[in-house]
Structure 1
Amino acid sequence: MKNVYLKSSFKEISSSKGKFISIILIILLGTMLFVGVRSTGPDLSNSASSYVNNYHLADLQIISTMGLTEEDVQILQKEENLVVEAGFSATYEKNKEELVQILSYSNDANLNKWKVIEGDLPKSNQEIVLDYKAKEFGFKLGEEYKINSPEIENKTFTIVGFVNSPLYLSTSDRGTTDSGNGNIDYFAYIPEAAFSQDVYSQLFIKFLDTENLVADSSEYTSVLDENVSKVEQLYADRPEKRLEEIQTKAKETLYANLQEIEQGKEQVELAKMQSGADLSSLDAESEKLNKLENDIDEKIAEVETMEEPVYYFQTRSSNPGYQDYFDSATSITAIAGIFPAFFLFIAVLVTFTTMSRMVEENRGEIGTLKALGYKKIEIAQKYIIYTLLAGVLGVGLGTVIGTKTLPPFIFHLFEEYNIPTFVGQYHWNYIVQALIAGLFATLGSALYVLWKDLREKPSTLMRPRASKSGKRILLERITPLWNRLNFNQKVSYRNLFRYKSRMIMAIVGISGCTGLILAGYGIKNSIEDLQPKQFSEILHYQGIVTMDRPTALTHSSLITEEMNAVVESVSVKNKTRSSQTVSMISPSRTEKFNNYVSLHDVNKNRVTVLPEVGALITQKLAKDMNVENGDTLSINKDSKTVKIRVVGIVKNYAGHFMYIAPTYYEELFGDYEPTSVLIKTKKLSASEQKNLTTSLLENSDVKNVSFFKESGGIQQFGSLNSVVMIMIILSGALALVVLYNLTNINISERIRELSTIKVLGFYNKEVTSYVMRESMVLSLLGILLGFMVGTYLHRFILTTAESGNIVFPLTIHWSSFVYAGLITLFLNFLVIGIAHFKLKHINMIDALKSNE
C-alpha cells in the first residue's frame, strides 16, 4: 500500500503537468532574476579586478608640480609592502586635432603592463607602441611615427604594436589636458631613454597587500586608504625639502652667473684704465652687465619667494573610465538588491497561494488516508515530494540559467570598456537566499495547509467545505448603479467580494507585476533624461575656453554670449577626511550668472542668486560630504587649504560643482584673475563644433577648448539601460505566469459552478466572459495599484542606485504608464484565450460528480 501511495505521489505530477510546470516557471523566473542580476555587479567587479590585477595596474600615482627626483623614489624603495616605478610623460600636440599622451617604458617594468591587440612589444629604443585607439587616425604597423617635442630627444620611431593599457579602462576616454580641445585622443609608449627631462613626471605604486583583493571592494578601499595615509606621511615634509633643493640648485647657478658678471665688470674697469680704450663701447658693456645683474637679482628674489611644490596622490579612481565602470557596477548592484528581491517576493506570494490551493483540493483524499490509518508523515510525503521537486527544480534551473546568461550578457553590453575577459562564478549567498524563498513558497505552503488539515477529523476532511454564504455587497446598496447592471455583471461583482482572499491575492499579484514593469520603464526614462536635463535645465552654456588672458571671442558668429570666470578643479574635504574633486566656478558677473547656470535651491525649490559671501554646492556633493547649509568644507588649492562656508545646496544631475562670487574668491585665495570664458553657442552640429574649436585655437591666447556634451561623463549608463530592458522583459514573463496561475486557481475552485451553467445552456463564449469579467476588473484594479507601487519602487531604486557624482532625475514619462498598463492587459487577454480553450473542454459530468 505504501508503495502504491508513493507511486501516486509521482502520478500527481504527471496528472497536473500544467500546474507543476507553472510553479517551476514562477520559481525559475524569480530565481533567475534574483540570482542572475544580483550576481552581475560582483561578476563585473571580478572581471575588471582580474584584468587590472593580471596586468599589475598601480594602486597609487604620485605627481608633483615641480617634478619628482631620485630622492622621491628612494623614500618608497625603503618600504617593504610596495613596488614603485618612476616614469616620464608629456602631452604632445601632433596637430590641432590630435593630442597624444606620450609615456615612457622600460624593459624591466612590472607595473601597468599592456595587452597587445596587434603586433608585438618593443624590443629596441627606436620602437614605439600606440594605443589601439590610434588606429582610428590611420596608423599602421611598420610605419614611422615622428614626434616634434622639446621633451623628447629621439624624434622618429617605428610602430611595432597596438595595445590596451589597464590605465585606461574606457574605450574612448583618454583623459584631459590644458592644451588643444582638452581631450587626449590616444596614448603612446616610447623608451625611457628618449626623454630629455631631468625629473620624473610620476611615480606608480603597487601595494602588495592589495594584490588578491577585488578592485573597488570595501576591503580593497579600506586597505588602500590605510596605505595611502602611510605614503602621505612619508612625504609630509617632502615639499619643504624639495623646495629647498630647487632653491639651492637655482641659487648656485644664479650666484655663479653673478660671479661671472662681477668678473666681467672688473675686466671692463681694467679696460677703461688702458690708453686708447673705446670708452663709449665700454660704458655700453657696463650697462649690459648691470642689467644682467639686476635680472639675476630679481630671479634670486623670485627663487626665495617660491611656494612649496604640491604633491598629488591619485588612486585608480582618477584613471580615465575606471570609476565610471565601477559606478555602473555599483548601480547595477544597487538595483539588483531591490528589483529582483521584489520580483522574487511576487513569485513566492503567488506560488504560496497555488500550492495552498492544491493541498486544499485534496482534502477528501487526505481524510480517506487518515481514516485508513496512515500516519501524518506518510500522508504528507506526497506533498513534500511534489513541492520539494518543484522548489528545487525551479531554484536549480533558475540559478544555472540566471548565472550563465544574465551576467555575461550584461558584461558584453559594456562595450565602452576595455575589459577583455568575463569572470563569473556562483554566488552561494544569493543561491541560498533564493532556495530558502523557493522552499518557503512550495514546501512551506504545503506544510502549513497540511498542519491545519491533519488536525481535523477524517469525517470532516472527507466532506467538502461549506460554500461561503452569499451576502449583500456595498455596490448593491448604491441602488441607481446596481439597477443598471445586467445579471451577469451582478454575479461577477458578487463573486469578487464573496472570495475576498482570492481578490486580494489577484490584485496584489497583478499590481506587483505592473509595478515592476513600470519601475523598469521609469528607470529607463531617468537614465535617458539625465543628460538632457543636465544640459538644458541646469547648464545653459555649451563650453569653456581656457586662456592665458581672457579676450573677446564674439568675433565668431557661432558664439552668442560669453562670460569670463575662474574655473578650477579643487579637492574638497569634510570633517571625516573623505574627499571629492570639484569644479569650482567663480563668474565675473554674478547678476548675469543665472543665464549660464540655473541655481535651483533643492531645499526651498526656488531660484537662488549667487551670494556675495559663502558657496553654493551641488546636491550630490552635499550628500557625499554630509553637509548642510551653514556647515564648512576644507578646500585644497595650490598647496593652500582654506575653510569655506556652505550657504546653499543647488540642484544638479551630473558632476560636483561649487559656485562662489568674485569678492568671496578674493577673500579666500587672493587676486581674482579669470582665465576661462564660459561660452553660449547656437545649436551646433559635430562638424560646426569641430570648426569652432579649430578657429578658437588659432588665437595664441587660447590654451584649451572643451564642450560639455563631448565629455559629459554620462555615457556609462547606456549599459545600465540595457540591464533595465532585460528586467522589463522578465517582469512581463512573470506577469504572464502569475496571471495564468491566478486564472487557473479561479477556474479550478469554481469548476462545478461553471459546469452547471454550461449544462443550463450557456455558450462557451458566455462561460468565458462569465469568468473573465472578474479577471478584467481585478486586472484594472491591479494595474491602478501597480502604478502607485511602480512609482514608489522607481524612486526607491534610483535613490539607492546613485553613485559617483550622479543624481538621477526621478521622472516617469506618461508613455511608460501606458506601456505598463497595456503589457499587463495584453498578457491578461492572452491568458483569457488560454482559459477559453480550457473552459471549452470541461468534462461537465465528472465535474458535477466530483463531490458526490
Structure 2
Amino acid sequence: MTAAYFKTIMREIWSSKARFASILLIIFLGVAFYTGIRATGPDMSQAANDYYKQQKLATNSVQSTLGLTKSDTQVLAKHRSQLTYQAAKYVDVNQLTNSQVIRVMALPKTQRLNQLRVVSGRLPRHANEIVLDAQAKRLQPKLKIGSTYRISSTTKRNQQFTRRTFKVVGFVNSPTYVENTDRGVTNVGKGTLDYLVYVRPQVLKSSVITRIDVQFKNLRGVTPYTAKYRRLNRKNTAALKRWLKPQANKRQQQLQAQATAKIKPLQQATKQLESQVPAGTAQLVKLQTQLKQAQAKVAAIKAPTYLYTDRSDNPGYTEYHENTQRVVALSTVFPLFFIAIAALICLTTMTRMVEELRLQMGTLKALGYSNTAVGSEFMVYGGLAALIGTALGVAFGVNFFPRFIAQAYGSMYNLPAIHVQYIWLDIVIALLIALLCTLGTALVVLRVDLRALPASLLQPRAPKAGKTLLLERWRWLWRRLSFNHKITIRNLFRYKQRLLMTVLGIAGCMAMMITGFGLKDSIGDISVKQFNQLWHYDAIVTRSGQETAQQRRAISKGSTYRASMKLQAKQVTVKQAGVAEQTATLGIPAAQQHLSKFVVLRHRQSQQAIQLGTHGAVIDEKLAKLYGVQAGDQLTIKVAGQPAKKIRVSAIAENYVNHFIYMSPTYYRQVFKQTPVYNTNYVQFKNASTKQQNAYADRLLKQTGIQNVTLMSTEKATNFKMLDSMNLVVLIFVVSAGALALVVLYNLTNINVSERIRELSTIKVLGFYDGEVTMYIFRENLILTVLGMLVGCFLGNWLHAYILQTAETNALMFSPTIHPLSYIYSALLTLAFSLLVMAMMHWKLKRVNMLDALKSVD
C-alpha cells in the first residue's frame, strides 16, 4: 500500500466521518453490552469467593440436640492435618422491649473461622462491650457506636448471662450471613432471627458448646459452587459423620451418669429409711415413688442426634450464587440479541459503502491495482471502526455494567464491592464479531465487484427494476391514492433489504425498551398485588401459646381494631437435592371459613378462589416452581426439632413475596398427629395512621405472652427497599435500547438518503419544497418504524418473559403482566427518535448540492 493510497483511505474516512462514526458507535454499544454483561456474573462470583476466603468461612458445621462438649472437639483435634475447627456458643433471645429475636454469640479468643468483617468501630475487648450485626442498625436506626445496649428477655433467658448491659463499640458483618435481612430460623419467639450480637466469652454462663464450625483444608483452593467442590464436600461430610458417630453413645452415657449422680442422695435416703421403718409406710412409699420416677427419667435419656450442615444451609449463600447464574443466563441471550442488531446495521452500512465507491474501485483496477489493494481500503475502513469501537466498548462495558448491576444486587447482600476483571475470551469473541460485522460483510459484498472488469465498475449499477405490486391490482384503492403515497409504497417494496433491516432494527430496540418498562411493571405490581389484593390484614400478632382471655381482650381493644383471625403460624423448611433450602410459613387457620377475609387464595391465571380441603395443602406458586410440583404431588417439609413430613399439594395459589403453606386443621392433624396450637392472630385495622399502629403494637407487647407484633406497613417498606434498586437495571435496558434505536434510525435513514440522492435532487429541481422532500423520505421511515414497533411488541413480550424467568430470586415472583402504558412509552420514545433523526436529515437535505448529485458518471 503506497503512501498516496493510504492518504486516499484516510481522506475517505474523513469525508464520510458520519458513517464511520455510526459504525464505530454501533460496534461500541454492542461490544460494551456484550463484554459488560458477560463479565458481571463472574465478577460477582469472584467477589464472593474472595470474601469467603478472606474471612475464612467454614465449610461445615456440627450441632447436637443435647449440645456438644470438649470430647467432641478432641475427636476433631485428632484430624488437624485435614481440618481447622472452632467451637461456638450462643443463646437465642426474644427481646421483650421490641419483640425482636436476636442471637447472642460468644466471640472466641482467636477467630480461626468465620471472621467478622468490621463495618464501623472495632471488636469488643472487655466484658462490658458488644458489637452488633449491621442488620441491627437497619432495624434500629437509633443504635450507634457508644450507645447502651441491653438484653431483656424472660427470667430464664436472662439468667444465662453474667451481665446484660453493654456499650456498643462496633457494627460487623459475618460471612455466614451474606444476605442482608435473613438470619435463619430459631425455636424462640416468632421463629426467625432478626440480627446477631457478639460478646466476650465470659458473658455466657453455659459450658456446653452450641456448634462446632469446621473448614476442610482440601477445599481451600477449590472454587465454591463448582462440581469439584460439591464432590469433595460430600466426601468431607461423610468423614465428619464417621469420626463423630461414636460420640452420640458417649454423650448419652455421660448425661446418664450425671443424672444418676444427682439422684444418688435420694437412693441413699431411701435405703436408710427402708432399714428404719416397716415396708408400706407412707413416707417410705413416697420416697420409693420419687426414686422410681427419677430412675425412669435417667433411663429415658436418649442418645443425641448430631446435625451436619454445610455452606449451602447458610442464609443467602446459595441464593447469591443463583443470582449470579441468573446474570450469566441473561448474558447468554440479551447481549447477543443486542449485538445481532448491530451486525445487521453494519451489514447494511458496509454494503452501501461498497456501492458508493464502485467508481473508485473501477479507477484503481484500471490503473493496475490488484484486487487485494482495492479491497484493502474497505478492510482498513471497517477494521479501524471495529478495533476502535471494540477497545472503547470493552473499556466502558467491563468497568460500568458489572458495577452498576452489582450495586442493584448490593442492597440484598452485605458483600464487599466487586473488582472488575477482563475476561479475554469474551473480549476476543466480541472483537471477532465486530470484525465479522465490518470486514466479513465487506468481503461478502466485494466478492462480486472485485471479479468485475474495470469498464463495468466505471459505470453506475443499473437501477433496480420496478415491479407491479399486488396492491396495484386492487384498482379501487390504487386509483384513490395520491402520487406521493404511490411512490412511497413502491419504494418500500422496491428496496426489500432496507425494509427488512429497518423493521428488524427498530423491532429489536422496541423490544428492549418494552422489556425495560415491563420489568418496572413486574416489580411494581408485586407491592400492589401482594399487599392490596392478596393480603387483607394489617398486623401479625405472635403469641407464646394458645390465646388467653386477657390477650383476646387486649387484641380487640381500642378504636384502631376492626377484626382478627386466629391461626397457627410456624416456620418450616423445604429442601430437595438441587434446590436451595427454602423457609416457608405454615399457616393453619382456626376457622378456615374466615380465611378468605384475611388471605385471598386464588389461581393466578383464572383468578378462581381456592378452598382449604381436608386431604391436602395449598402452597404458593413460586415454591411449586422451585420444586417442580403440581396439584396432586407430594412435598417434603420439616418443622424444627421434628422429623420431616410429606404433604400432599391440593392447589397452587398466587403469591409474590416469601413462601406460604396453608392447611386445614383436619389435614394438619392427619400429617403431624397433633392438635394445632393457634399462636398467631391476623389483625385488621380501621384506616389507622402510622402513629396509631405503632401505639397499638407497643400496647400489645406489654401483655404477658405476646412475643411479637409485625406491622404490615413496616414490612412493606422494608421488603421493597431492595426492589427500588432494580430500577437501576431497568434504566440500563431503556437507555441502552434508546441509544441503539437512535443510532439504528440515523444510520438507516442516512443510507436511505445517500442511496437516493439523485432521486431527491431531481424532485427538488422539479420544484418540491424542502419540507416536501423531507416528507418524501419521512413517510417511508414512519411506515417502517410503525412496522418495526409492531414486530417489537411481540419480540418484547418474549424477551420480557425470558428475563423474568432468569432474574427472579427464590423468595420472589415477578408479575408477568406488562402494562399498556409501557407499550405506549416505548412507542413514543421510538417515534421521538425517528422525529429527531428526520430533523437531522431535514437539515442535511436542505444543503444538498443538486448539480453535483445529478452529474453523469458516464
Normalised to the residue count of structure 1, the TM-score between the two structures is 0.90
One-letter amino acid of the structure 2 residue matched with residue 364 of structure 1:
L
Distance of 1:361 and 1:582 partners within structure 2 = 66
Distance 1:185 1:642, change over 3 A: closer
Distance 1:497 1:764, change over 3 A: same
Distance 1:126 1:368, change over 3 A: same
Contact 1:330 1:801 (8 Å CA) reproduced: no
Contact 1:328 1:716 (8 Å CA) reproduced: no
Larger mean CA deviation between 777-786 and 199-208 belongs to: 199-208
1:549 to 526, 546, 553: 546
Larger mean CA deviation between 663-672 and 762-771 belongs to: 663-672
Which residue of structure 1 lines up, in the alignment, with residue 422 of structure 2? Answer: 426
Contact 1:335 1:798 (8 Å CA) reproduced: no
Contact 2:327 2:806 (8 Å CA) reproduced: no
One-letter amino acid of the structure 2 residue matched with residue 768 of structure 1:
T
Per the TM alignment, residue 825 of structure 1 is displaced from its structure 2 partner at its CA by 0.6
1:199 and 2:199 correspond: no
One-letter amino acid of the structure 2 residue matched with residue 651 of structure 1:
E
One-letter amino acid of the structure 1 residue matched with residue 659 of structure 2:
H
Which residue of structure 1 lines up, in the alignment, with residue 355 of structure 2? Answer: 360
Distance 1:326 1:531, change over 3 A: farther
Distance of 1:747 and 1:76 partners within structure 2 = 79
Per the TM alignment, residue 753 of structure 1 is displaced from its structure 2 partner at its CA by 0.3
Which residue of structure 2 lines up, in the alignment, with residue 5 of structure 1? Answer: 5
2:337 to 342, 346, 349: 342
Contact 2:319 2:809 (8 Å CA) reproduced: no
Which residue of structure 1 lines up, in the alignment, with residue 155 of structure 2? Answer: none
1:457 to 453, 457, 475: 453
Equivalences for 1:147-546 in 2 at 5 Å? 147=151, 149-155=158-164, 157-170=166-179, 186-216=195-225, 220=229, 223-224=232-233, 226-228=235-237, 230-232=239-241, 242-243=251-252, 245-253=254-262, 255-262=263-270, 265=273, 269=277, 294=289, 297-298=292-293, 300-302=295-297, 304-305=299-300, 309-319=304-314, 322=317, 325-413=320-408, 414-415=410-411, 417-542=413-538, 543=540, 545-546=542-543
Contact 1:578 1:625 (8 Å CA) reproduced: no
Distance of 1:232 and 1:799 partners within structure 2 = 38
Larger mean CA deviation between 193-202 and 332-341 belongs to: 332-341
Distance 1:318 1:711, change over 3 A: farther
Distance 1:497 1:118, change over 3 A: closer
Q: Provide Cα deviations, 1:314-360, integer angstroms capped at 9, x if missing partner.
A: 44455455556545444433333332221111111111211122112
Contact 1:32 1:398 (8 Å CA) reproduced: yes
Per the TM alignment, residue 616 of structure 1 is displaced from its structure 2 partner at its CA by 3.3
Report the secondary structure of 1:337's partner residue: helix
Per the TM alignment, residue 95 of structure 1 is displaced from its structure 2 partner at its CA by 4.8
Q: Provide Cα deviations, 1:632-666, integer angstroms capped at 9, x if missing partner.
A: 34444434234333343333323333333333322
Identity of aligned residues (%): 38
Distance of 1:140 and 1:582 partners within structure 2 = 33
Contact 2:567 2:680 (8 Å CA) reproduced: yes
Contact 1:545 1:677 (8 Å CA) reproduced: yes
1:102 to 84, 90, 104: 104
Which residue of structure 2 lines up, in the alignment, with residue 276 of structure 1? Answer: none
Which residue of structure 2 lines up, in the alignment, with residue 658 of structure 1? Answer: 661
Report the secondary structure of 2:467's partner residue: coil
Q: Provide Cα deviations, 1:607-649, integer angstroms capped at 9, x if missing partner.
A: 3322312333333333332334443344444342343333433
Q: Provide Cα deviations, 1:132-156, integer angstroms capped at 9, x if missing partner.
A: 5656565565666555621112455
Distance of 1:690 and 1:783 partners within structure 2 = 50
Which residue of structure 2 lines up, in the alignment, with residue 776 of structure 1? Answer: 782
1:813 and 2:815 correspond: no
Equivalences for 1:32-111 in 2 at 5 Å? 32-79=32-79, 80-93=81-94, 95-97=96-98, 100-111=102-113
Q: Structure 2 unaligned segments of length 5 or more: list them.
A: 153-157
Per the TM alignment, residue 192 of structure 1 is displaced from its structure 2 partner at its CA by 1.3
Per the TM alignment, residue 424 of structure 1 is displaced from its structure 2 partner at its CA by 1.4
Per the TM alignment, residue 377 of structure 1 is displaced from its structure 2 partner at its CA by 1.7
Q: Structure 1 unaligned segments of length 5 or more: list them.
A: 273-282
Per the TM alignment, residue 252 of structure 1 is displaced from its structure 2 partner at its CA by 3.9
Which residue of structure 2 lines up, in the alignment, with residue 833 of structure 1? Answer: 839
Per the TM alignment, residue 124 of structure 1 is displaced from its structure 2 partner at its CA by 4.1
Which residue of structure 1 lines up, in the alignment, with residue 804 of structure 2? Answer: 798
Per the TM alignment, residue 745 of structure 1 is displaced from its structure 2 partner at its CA by 0.7
Larger mean CA deviation between 739-748 and 675-684 belongs to: 675-684
Report the secondary structure of 1:130's partner residue: strand
Which residue of structure 1 lines up, in the alignment, with residue 626 of structure 2? Answer: 624
Distance of 1:556 and 1:218 partners within structure 2 = 58
One-letter amino acid of the structure 2 residue matched with residue 475 of structure 1:
L
Per the TM alignment, residue 766 of structure 1 is displaced from its structure 2 partner at its CA by 1.3
Which residue of structure 2 lines up, in the alignment, with residue 701 of structure 1? Answer: 705
Distance of 2:706 and 2:747 partners within structure 1 = 69
One-letter amino acid of the structure 2 residue matched with residue 845 of structure 1:
L
Distance 1:132 1:790, change over 3 A: closer
Contact 1:90 1:102 (8 Å CA) reproduced: yes
Q: Provide Cα deviations, 1:720-773, integer angstroms capped at 9, x if missing partner.
A: 331121221111011000000010110011010011111112121111111111
Contact 2:106 2:199 (8 Å CA) reproduced: yes
Distance of 2:844 and 2:571 partners within structure 1 = 69
Contact 2:318 2:580 (8 Å CA) reproduced: no
Per the TM alignment, residue 833 of structure 1 is displaced from its structure 2 partner at its CA by 0.8
One-letter amino acid of the structure 1 residue matched with residue 160 of structure 2:
E
Normalised to the residue count of structure 2, the TM-score between the two structures is 0.89
Larger mean CA deviation between 346-355 and 737-746 belongs to: 346-355
Larger mean CA deviation between 766-775 and 433-442 belongs to: 433-442
Which residue of structure 1 lines up, in the alignment, with residue 26 of structure 2? Answer: 26
Report the secondary structure of 1:600's partner residue: coil
Equivalences for 1:504-653 in 2 at 5 Å? 504-542=500-538, 543=540, 545-551=542-548, 553=552, 554-557=555-558, 558-574=560-576, 580-601=582-603, 606-637=608-639, 638-653=641-656
One-letter amino acid of the structure 2 residue matched with residue 368 of structure 1:
T
Per the TM alignment, residue 480 of structure 1 is displaced from its structure 2 partner at its CA by 4.2
Report the secondary structure of 2:556's partner residue: coil
Distance of 1:723 and 1:219 partners within structure 2 = 33
Report the secondary structure of 1:640's partner residue: coil
Larger mean CA deviation between 408-417 and 600-609 belongs to: 600-609
Distance of 1:123 and 1:484 partners within structure 2 = 92
One-letter amino acid of the structure 1 residue matched with residue 696 of structure 2:
L
Distance of 1:576 and 1:519 partners within structure 2 = 30
Contact 1:654 1:714 (8 Å CA) reproduced: no
Distance of 1:260 and 1:216 partners within structure 2 = 60
Distance 1:565 1:261, change over 3 A: farther
Per the TM alignment, residue 783 of structure 1 is displaced from its structure 2 partner at its CA by 1.2
Larger mean CA deviation between 454-463 and 195-204 belongs to: 454-463
Report the secondary structure of 1:91's partner residue: strand
Per the TM alignment, residue 777 of structure 1 is displaced from its structure 2 partner at its CA by 1.1
1:667 to 653, 665, 670: 670
Q: CA RMSD in A?
A: 3.3
Contact 2:668 2:676 (8 Å CA) reproduced: no
One-letter amino acid of the structure 2 residue matched with residue 658 of structure 1:
I
Distance of 2:364 and 2:534 partners within structure 1 = 73
Distance of 1:805 and 1:133 partners within structure 2 = 19
Distance of 1:522 and 1:4 partners within structure 2 = 54
Distance of 2:556 and 2:302 partners within structure 1 = 39
Per the TM alignment, residue 365 of structure 1 is displaced from its structure 2 partner at its CA by 2.3
